[in-house]
Amino acid sequence: MLFFILLPAIIATLLIPLFRKEYSFIVSITGTALSLILSGYHFYAGFGKIIEQSYTWMTVNGYSIVLSTVSNNLTLFMATLVSFISLMVLIFSTFYMKKEPQKRFYAEMSFFIFSMLGLVISNSLLLFFVFWEFIGVSSYLLIGFWYSKEAPSAAGKKALVITRIGDMALLAAIIILFTAVHTFSLSSILNELSVIPPATMAIVSVLLITAAFSKAAQFPFYTWLIDAMEGPTPVSALLHSATMVAAGAYLAVLVLPIIQSAGMTGLVTGFGFLTSLIAAFLALRERHFKKILAYSTMESLAFMFLAIGTANTGGAVFYLFTHAVFKSLLFFVSGVLALSFGTYDIYKIKSRGSRKSWVLIPSLIGFLSLSAIPPFMSFFAHLSITYGFNFYENVGFVVISFLTALFAFRAFFIIFSSNRSRPTLKDPAAYFPVYILAAVSSVGGSFLLFFNNLLPIQYRLDMFSYLSLVAAALGIYMALELFYYKKASRMVAKLYLLSDRIANYRYDNILLYTGNSIVGFGEVVAEFDNVLARSFSRLAASAMYLSSKSRRIQNGDALSYIDAIFIGMVALLLLVVVML
């Protein structure tokens, strides 16, 4: 039974309030560890098999609404990955959240993990949407965990409101598909795409892309992700790795045949490149460590959409895996430094002395992975992402590789460039997940061999692969010169100016411009309405005047009527005479 994977997490959510607060993390970690064991077991036992399990939820007018799950290589791998990363995050949380409300935090985290596990094994779009909404609610609670503070509370609301756009788009797409093929089963829908009219397919594709982009924080929906950094760092690590934002890319992977049938893959690729460029430039100006990582998450998700747009789902899933590992690692590093030095500002961390910190090597591994430098496995993930690229897409990716390494090592060289040294907090609960993820990130391309058996992955090492590597190395060198040795200050100023100009065109400004345009259009319509109202008022006044004059003719006096008839007959005779 595939639902057994979900039971430990939901049971932990329900049990945590019943235990004393000091035991809540034990319940949460135990539940997630059991989910990891069950996911791993199903992955091993069901490898290479496709098994669907259906459950009749209700029957309406003779029609049964069926909820179904699917067991295949992709869903079981995603369940195992989600459980593994979640377990690392929960272990790190015991270090980071010691002084915070334990019960509420671990209950909400367990519910989030339950929701994500339910989403990845869902085959019914209706069941998928239920867990999609659970993810949205639990992310709202976790982002706004410190609800008594204004910024986290506002960030949680912003995430909830912006992602609702995608939620409504997803619900509309599900309704349209159900109307067309009369089933919620995704596998059945994909087998019956030929019966869906092209116009309907195009509408559904746009709606599904909107849903995926909003959850994955792609342009123009990305601003909520940056503000979400107001939440606790373990929450940021969980949201940004293999869970919430990855849910958008996962949805796009599942519905890729629909997007291909509608001819919308170019739209996915175009927005992927646009998002990656915006994220890279905005990260270049950011001082907040977690927000730099948030922009890098935007970019990494855009890389997945680039692969999806070129029908390379294997490459997208492989990069999703590598990103989950090194991004969680970097968030853990940021949390350790923030607790040690009391700030996420990279310049303040530098001034307080972090050069000899124990997180220096793990941080270097994380940033090298982000920059796709071999032998780290993200380098091999880039080889698979770019497999289906054309010439222009390859050129664009070379530029993005340079910018990625530049903003990544800008942060690294600023943080660790001080000659001062101050003790960094040490705790086994921080050591364990940091070193485990650093080790996994260092394994390199051996995972590509495993993934070839998991999903059909194609990759190539060509001229553009070498150019991307050279561009990344050049980005690291420029970061060294500009931010470690502090040369070419005028170039740095120009880079910051360019980033500031891009930041001025953020989504909120677009909304403001759109709102002002709507108001202006409304004012024009209102003025036109006033003109019409004045015209009709004049017509009504003229009619009243004419009626008041005409009423004098009908005064009830018979002699007046006789006089009028006589005058009319005389006038008619005169007219006849004149005409003849």
pLDDT the model gives residue 491 = 65
Residue 499 banded pLDDT, cuts 50, 70, 90: low
pLDDT the model gives residue 216 = 86
Which position has the higher pLDDT, 177 or 6? 177
Residue 367 banded pLDDT, cuts 50, 70, 90: very high
The CB density around residue 500, as the number of other CB atoms within 10 Å, is 13
pLDDT the model gives residue 207 = 93
Domain spans in the chain, listed from the N-terminal domain onward: 1-173+218-244, 264-500, 512-579
The Cα–Cα gap between 297 and 225 comes to 9
Q: With contact defined as beta carbons under 8 Å apart, do 332 and 227 qualify?
A: no
Q: With contact defined as beta carbons under 8 Å apart, do 257 and 314 qualify?
A: no
Residue tagged 């170019």 (tokens): 266
Residues 6+ apart with CB under 8 A from 384: 307, 312, 314, 315, 318, 319, 448, 457, 458, 459
Residue tagged 């259009």 (tokens): 521
pLDDT the model gives residue 91 = 92
Q: With contact defined as beta carbons under 8 Å apart, do 308 and 385 qualify?
A: no
The percent of residues above 70 in pLDDT, for the chain, comes to: 85
pLDDT the model gives residue 500 = 63
Q: What are the C-alpha distances in Å from 474 to residues 7, 50, 293, 407, 422?
A: 49, 45, 21, 12, 31
Could you tell me the pTM of the whole model? 0.83
Average pLDDT over residues 510-518: 61
The Cα–Cα gap between 64 and 185 comes to 12
pLDDT the model gives residue 436 = 92
In this predicted model, what pLDDT tens digit does every residue of 407-432 receive, in sequence order? 899 989 888 877 777 777 888 888 89
Q: Single out the residue of 138, 24, 32, 137 nearest to residue 85, CA to CA.
A: 32
In this predicted model, what pLDDT tens digit does every residue of 103-134 receive, in sequence order? 788 888 888 888 898 888 888 888 899 899 98
Residues 6+ apart with CB under 8 A from 566: none
pLDDT the model gives residue 430 = 86
In this predicted model, what pLDDT tens digit does every residue of 173-213 receive, in sequence order? 999 998 888 888 888 888 888 888 888 899 999 999 999 99
Longest dimension (CA), the chain: 122
For β-strands 51-60 and 63-71, DSSP reports them as: antiparallel
pLDDT the model gives residue 170 = 92
Which position has the higher pLDDT, 355 or 540? 540
Is the pLDDT at 567 greater than 80? The verdict is no
Q: What is the mean pLDDT of the chain?
A: 83
Residues 6+ apart with CB under 8 A from 524: none
pLDDT the model gives residue 156 = 87
Q: With contact defined as beta carbons under 8 Å apart, do 299 and 323 qualify?
A: no
The CB density around residue 152, as the number of other CB atoms within 10 Å, is 22
In this predicted model, what pLDDT tens digit does every residue of 60-73 receive, in sequence order? 777 777 888 888 88
Residue 528 banded pLDDT, cuts 50, 70, 90: low
Is the pLDDT at 504 greater than 90? The verdict is no
Q: Residue type for 194, please?
A: S
pLDDT the model gives residue 518 = 66
| Choice among 263-267, 423-427, 457-461, 529-533 with the minimum mean pLDDT | 529-533
Q: With contact defined as beta carbons under 8 Å apart, do 372 and 322 qualify?
A: no
E-assigned strand segments in 244-390: none
The Cα–Cα gap between 537 and 539 comes to 5
Is the pLDDT at 353 greater than 80? The verdict is no
pLDDT the model gives residue 445 = 66
pLDDT the model gives residue 515 = 58
> Could you give the dihedral angle defined by the CA atoms of residues 386, 390, 392 and 395, in that order, rounded to the nearest 10 degrees?
30
pLDDT the model gives residue 558 = 63
Q: With contact defined as beta carbons under 8 Å apart, do 155 and 113 qualify?
A: no
Q: With contact defined as beta carbons under 8 Å apart, do 272 and 306 qualify?
A: yes
